[in-house]
Amino acid sequence: MYGTLAYEMEVSVPASVAWAIYGSLRLISITVPEFFRKIDVIKGDGGPGTILKVFFLPGSLFYSWEEEIVKVDNEKMVKATNVHTGGYLDLGFNLFQVRFEVIKKTETSCITRTTIVFDIKDGFEANASYVSILGFMDIMQAVTKYLEKTGHRCEDSNIAQPFHQFGNIFLNL
């Protein structure tokens, strides 16, 4: 079974400002310790091939997993990571990918979008219920707060997408 979940926000900063966070390892310093116990860089510099060991807070579905940054496209402002050890793979998933995108809207604003792409092995379809975009929505809000602290303003956007829309959450199963 294949599925996607997505969330997006309008951010009142230039796309290059938002991409400086989403496209780099700077995202780690904004999200730890509020969302993760810690994130270790096992190898790499933030580009494709970088391996991160993510340790979750107590009470989370997982204790930890390793993920690999598989794509960083600075021109298109797209970054993708795949869980490659533990986590959702232990629940029968073939693929659990998180994509961050920054889309220029105007010279002073952009859209940030997080998309989860997953594929589940036959017989494990019920585990799709564990997939949630909510944690990534919180991360995007943390980035918003960070940008606000630096003098920028961000707000949610209700941009229509070719997905089933629930507020700013888009679901495609």
Residue type for position 75:
E
Which CATH homologous superfamily contains domain 2-35+73-172? START domain (3.30.530.20)
Q: What is the reported pLDDT for 173?
A: 38
Catalytic residue among 79, 121, 145, 149: 79
Q: 82-106: per-residue pLDDT in tens?
A: 999 999 999 999 999 999 999 999 9
| Per-residue model confidence as pLDDT tens digits over 31-72 | 777 888 889 999 999 999 999 999 999 999 999 999 999 999
**Domain limits of the chain?**
2-35+73-172
Q: Which residues contact 170 (CB under 8 A, 6 or more apart)?
A: 4, 5, 6, 7, 8, 161, 163, 164
- pTM for the model: 0.84
Q: How far apart are CA 56 and CA 120, in angstroms?
A: 22
User: Which pLDDT score is estimated for 28?
Assistant: 83
Active site residue 71: no
